[in-house]
Amino acid sequence: MAMLMIGELARRTGVKVNTIRFYEDIALMPKAARTDSGRRTYSEADVKRLSFIRNGRDLGFSTEELKSLIALSEHPDLDCGAAAGIARRHLLAVEARLSRLMLMRWELERVAANCEGGRMADCQVIGAIADAPSH
């Protein structure tokens, strides 16, 4: 399979070159294989893993959480009560986020529509978001 350089991996995943190196430092990404001249090389599996990390980070998972999720999925022969536990814990957080995000969307839609060219005397963004449930 075709090996890619760090720049190509960056382009494919939307993760910056420096950030990829940083992820290697903190062991979120494995130590990349190198060419004779010392350049990092990556495979398709790395594209997947990094895409997962990117999405996970964007959704609010910490690097440590992502590490544990990845570690678990890399040992499919182990019992996965732990994975289920992690999953359930995250499920709660994800659900809370979902409901607040939906409220936020609703309010943003209202603001974008109502304020159109007008005044914002009744702009309730802050009121609405302030009252949103906190986890």
Partner DNA sequence: AATACATCCTCCAGTCACTGGAGGATCAAG
Partner DNA sequence: CTTGATCCTCCAGTGACTGGAGGATGTATT
Residues that bind a second copy (CB under 8 A): 14, 48-49, 51-52, 54-56, 58-60, 69-70, 72-73, 76-81, 83-84, 87-88, 90-91, 94-95, 97-98, 100-102, 104-105, 108-109, 111-112, 115-123, 125-127, 129-132, 134-135
Through-space distance between the first and last CA atoms of the chain, rounded to whole angstroms: 45
Give the three-class secondary structure for 83: helix
Torsion over CA: 73, 75, 77, 78 (sign): negative
* Residue 34 vs 82, nearer CB to a second copy: 82
Q: Which two tokens stand for residue 28?
A: 């979120």
* Residue 36 vs 79, nearer CB to DNA: 36
Q: How does DSSP classify residue 121?
A: T
Determine, following the binding rule CB under 7 A, whether residue 130 of this chain makes contact with DNA: no
